Structure 1
Amino acid sequence: MSSNTHFKPTLGLLDATMLVAGSMIGSGIFIVSADITRNVGSAGWLIFVWLLTGFMTLTAALSYGELSAMFPKAGGQYVYLKEAFNPLVGFLYGWSFFAVIQTGTIAAVGVAFSKFAAYLFPALSEHHILIDLVYFKISAAQIVAIILVILLTYINTRGVKEGKLIQTTFTLAKLLALFGLIIFGFLLGAKAGVWDANWLHGWDFGKLARTAGGSEDVFIGETIQKTPYEGWGPIIGAVAAAMVGSVFSSDAWNNVTFIAGEIKSPEKNIGLSLFFGTLIVTVIYVCANIMYTAVLPLNEIAFAENDRVAVAASTEIFGSVGTKVIAIMIMVSTFGCNNGLILSGARVYYTMAKDGLFFKQVANLNENGVPAKGLWVQCIWACILCLSGKYGDLLDYVVVVALVFYILTIIGIFRLRRLRPDVARPYKAFGYPVLPAIYILLATAMCVALLIYKPTFASFGILIVLLGVPVYYLAVAGKKDN
């Protein structure tokens, strides 16, 4: 039997802010600018995509502050959706969260860690196949990712203080490293000719493609063709497709809401941590991309080897040692990111189990006051996703699914203002109703555009959500039988 029946509030404002920032910054900022640039075709639009993503993230985070102050309890977004709508909507979020949003992200971040570890230790490469069963292969990178997930899960079962120490230490380290990369980029790597060339036609919009030599991963040749988009529909679709990478790189900011039961003064500190954390990351992301345009020609950003823009920039800044500099930075970044995801995710399953909508044993805390069984269930599924080899596709599904629930949660603010006006609101959504409404419109437009221009990924993401409906009614029926 567990000796603890409730969470211990042990995390302060700094810890909560580091969880927000640390969960957001994984490997995306080092990679996704290549795909964004190919979709938009110019430096100005590259920065615009990151600014728009930052605006949306900050707006959503400030809106969530109201909900976190109203319901300062473990489970976060699951609780908000249940309270604003009904238990089914809350469950569908929790189902999607377990099936793909959190566990798929944990798997992908773990594999990103191992891929960049291979720069330092080649034996850990994804090309080093350990088991080959023709239709099913397991690489050294996948095994390292699994070991990482298991290690961090074990550490977090020892108590929230252990997870907090890793989170704060590694997040501060990667924030300092990213600021250092940006500063050294401008001081040592910036070239006036490169900057001028990138911004000469900085607002020309179009799709970049190779017209000579090369392969999917390595560009050989000098000619890049830019094809303008015709009409507003394709332009909106291109921006939406470009934002898949930036939105995913900026996601997971809401993880701090899941551990409300372990935060001191949650009605105040969650809202503040959401603001400070998302603001810090937005500034870093925009500055990093401005630095890329000062160091690398646009074509080298768009067609960096394996999309590793930061590796190309670091090589320009630090020379041949630049690859190892970035490899270490990404290892630190992804290690801290996965710790935050693992720490916070299990609290959602714990709250669902308390409602009778998840495995019963997950509703217990261990002697260290953490949901250990929830941590291990999450660990097992994330490890399976590591082995599936489908984590890359899962990330495309994550964006649409996550956006749908962000939209619903912010709509929930409007519903709760109307249906439950007397509930105490120590903090109210900044810019309400204008800013939350703008977020809903922008996020909805992005979802619609992705359904039109990336129908396979978007439709499959929606299918994952809908599969949760029969599961919910089975769970409810099981509760009645008990």
Structure 2
Amino acid sequence: MSRRENFSVGQITTTEVAAPKPLLTLSDAIALIVGIVIGAGIFQTPALVAAQAGSNLAVLLFWLAGGAVSFVGALCYAELATTYPDVGGAYYYLKRAFGGRVAFLFAWARMTVIQTGSIALLAFVFGDYATEIWRLGAFSPSVYAAAAIAILTGLNIIGLQQGKWTQNLLTVAKVLGLLLVVILGLTATPNSAAPVESTSSGTWGLAMVFVLLSYGGWNEAAYISAEIQNKQRNIVRSLLWSIGIITAIYLSINLAFLRGLGLANMATSEAVAADLMRSVWGTPGALFISLLIAIATLGAINATIFTGARTNYALGQDFSLFSFMGRWQQRPSTPSHALLLQAAIALALVLLGTLTRKGFETMVDYTAPVFWFFFLLSGISLLLLRKREPNILRPFSVPFYPITPLLFCAVCVYLLYSSLVYTNVGAFVGVLVVIAGIPILIWNRHRQSRA
């Protein structure tokens, strides 16, 4: 039933009609998760991981370990999402476990830092590679970034069907393009100019930071749990299938890089995928990889826009100050007002990145610590809700409880620490923006008490 079940019968009927509906299939969910995760990271982090590794085997083991860690986290989220299916995703879990104040700060953080920062980050990557194909003046990357956010937001406002089909097509194109890169890399003449072994002085911990950055985004499945068909079964299947597909692609693409470039060349490359394609196809190969990365980032932007607006909608349902976002448009089956506000904040962050002239780096610093802090709280919420609500029906229970969620929380603690140590002033700004939500929460409570 609707959230507003204490209202009159007429109002209950209206709210129930204009609410999220289970219109997403299993394949839609998989395309969405894969589309979010396989974004810009896999084209940038393999070189950084290789620089920390001592051998070809170590590189592959790092990426396999990233899939394993993601699998552990997915098991935790599968229990939460099937037990508490809600369009707000982690917002709803945090509200049940920690109360409305923590949930509000999480939704505020997603609206102003995590999700909008991720959208802006991906948009900058898209702008950089789209500029390689066709330049649009001095501020070409920013123009492309802003246009991508505006157009994809518009498609999602038009309707759920347009948003999900855009996502499906972009994900298919992205995966096919990556498979082509894998085939070319694996069939290329092995690079024997560089030694197989490396005398790297890197650390495995830093390598895992880069690996898990590339695996980030699978948790967005929680935000479609109220819109997926046969949710008790398909939420779990979509998470596990997606992580399996992503891990296989990541291992294959890194194996192709190692064979085509060699470990040492891979570790020193500034654009590892472009270098591989240039060695195989020359200039046309470099152009192809720019197009592929542009498509990959478009898919990630669209998926992030899609899921981010769902938290904003849930926030609008619970807090009067943001009630304008808590309206679900019946015909397109989408939270239009939440999408518009999200786009406005993301465009403001694009402007910020343009002014600093370090768009991608600024957005990484801005989002990382806040993301891992609330990711940790989501893991803790599973432990709290198991203890507090032991009799509630759980269609899926995380295996090896409590070892699995404790392991997940330990990883989150480490990544939170690392994101604070390795980032710059942007992280401080992101934390300040989250803290700025506290007086807004107090103001909202004051307005509600007066009402």
Partner of 2:436: 467
- Of 268, 272, 276, the residue aligned with 1:303 is 268
Distance in 1 between residues matched to 2:245 and 2:399, nearest whole Å = 18
Partner of 1:173: 173
Residue 7 of structure 1 aligns to a residue whose secondary structure is coil
- What's the offset of the Cα at 1:348? 0.5
Question: Mind listing any 5+ residue stretches in structure 1 that lack a counterpart?
Answer: 130-138, 208-234
- Of 98, 110, 121, the residue aligned with 2:111 is 98
Matches within 5 A, 1:140-179: 140-179=140-179
1:31 is matched by which residue type in structure 2?
Answer: Q
1:321 paired to 2:321: no
Partner of 1:136: none
2:126 is matched by which residue type in structure 1?
Answer: F
Q: Is the alpha carbon distance of 1:39 and 1:92 closer, same or farther for their aligned partners in structure 2, counting shifts above 3 Å? A: farther
- What's the offset of the Cα at 1:318? 2.3
List per-residue Cα deviations over 1:274-310 (Å, max 9, x = no partner): 1111221122112211221111133432332xx2111
1:369 paired to 2:333: yes
Distance in 2 between residues matched to 1:157 and 1:450, nearest whole Å = 34
Partner of 1:77: 90
Matches within 5 A, 1:418-437: 418-437=387-406
- Of 30, 34, 41, the residue aligned with 2:43 is 30
- What's the offset of the Cα at 1:255? 1.8
- Is the 1:110–1:146 Cα contact (8 Å) retained in structure 2? yes
Matches within 5 A, 1:210-249: 235=203, 239-249=204-214
1:401 is matched by which residue type in structure 2?
Answer: V
1:6 is matched by which residue type in structure 2?
Answer: A
Matches within 5 A, 1:102-121: 102-121=115-134
Residue 261 of structure 1 aligns to a residue whose secondary structure is coil
List per-residue Cα deviations over 1:400-455 (Å, max 9, x = no partner): 22222222111111111111001110011133222222222222123224434547
- What's the offset of the Cα at 1:182? 0.9
Distance in 2 between residues matched to 1:106 and 1:331, nearest whole Å = 14
Q: Is the alpha carbon distance of 1:193 and 1:258 closer, same or farther for their aligned partners in structure 2, counting shifts above 3 Å? A: same
- Is the 2:114–2:367 Cα contact (8 Å) retained in structure 1? yes
2:408 is matched by which residue type in structure 1?
Answer: Y
Partner of 2:5: none
Matches within 5 A, 1:427-466: 427-454=396-423, 456=425, 459-466=428-435
Question: Mind listing any 5+ residue stretches in structure 2 that lack a counterpart?
Answer: 1-10, 354-358
Partner of 1:217: none
- What's the offset of the Cα at 1:241? 3.7
Residue 193 of structure 1 aligns to a residue whose secondary structure is coil
Partner of 2:375: 406
Partner of 2:256: 291
Distance in 2 between residues matched to 1:322 and 1:469, nearest whole Å = 50
Matches within 5 A, 1:40-55: 40=53, 42-55=55-68
Matches within 5 A, 1:332-371: 332-356=295-319, 359-366=322-329, 367-371=331-335
Distance in 2 between residues matched to 1:455 and 1:115, nearest whole Å = 22
Distance in 1 between residues matched to 2:436 and 2:110, nearest whole Å = 13
- Is the 2:98–2:381 Cα contact (8 Å) retained in structure 1? yes
Partner of 1:214: none
Partner of 1:193: 192
- Is the 1:88–1:472 Cα contact (8 Å) retained in structure 2? yes
Distance in 1 between residues matched to 2:350 and 2:320, nearest whole Å = 25
1:387 paired to 2:347: no
Partner of 2:449: 480
2:337 is matched by which residue type in structure 1?
Answer: K
Q: Is the alpha carbon distance of 1:346 and 1:454 closer, same or farther for their aligned partners in structure 2, counting shifts above 3 Å? A: closer
CA-atom RMSD, angstroms? 2.3
The answer to which of 85-94 and 444-453 deviates more is: 444-453
Residue 262 of structure 1 aligns to a residue whose secondary structure is coil
Distance in 1 between residues matched to 2:205 and 2:424, nearest whole Å = 12
Q: Is the alpha carbon distance of 1:70 and 1:284 closer, same or farther for their aligned partners in structure 2, counting shifts above 3 Å? A: same
- What's the offset of the Cα at 1:338? 1.0
Q: Is the alpha carbon distance of 1:399 and 1:277 closer, same or farther for their aligned partners in structure 2, counting shifts above 3 Å? A: same
- Is the 2:380–2:409 Cα contact (8 Å) retained in structure 1? yes
- Is the 1:159–1:368 Cα contact (8 Å) retained in structure 2? yes
Between the two proteins, the alignment pairs up a number of residues equal to 432
Q: Percent identity?
A: 30
Distance in 1 between residues matched to 2:363 and 2:324, nearest whole Å = 28
- Is the 2:120–2:363 Cα contact (8 Å) retained in structure 1? no
Distance in 2 between residues matched to 1:70 and 1:448, nearest whole Å = 30
1:16 paired to 2:16: no
1:395 is matched by which residue type in structure 2?
Answer: V
Q: Is the alpha carbon distance of 1:384 and 1:451 closer, same or farther for their aligned partners in structure 2, counting shifts above 3 Å? A: closer
- What's the offset of the Cα at 1:468? 2.8
- Is the 1:78–1:94 Cα contact (8 Å) retained in structure 2? yes
Distance in 1 between residues matched to 2:145 and 2:110, nearest whole Å = 20
Distance in 2 between residues matched to 1:314 and 1:434, nearest whole Å = 43
The answer to which of 110-119 and 5-14 deviates more is: 110-119
**TM-score in terms of structure 2 length:** 0.89
Q: Is the alpha carbon distance of 1:111 and 1:454 closer, same or farther for their aligned partners in structure 2, counting shifts above 3 Å? A: closer
Distance in 1 between residues matched to 2:123 and 2:104, nearest whole Å = 26
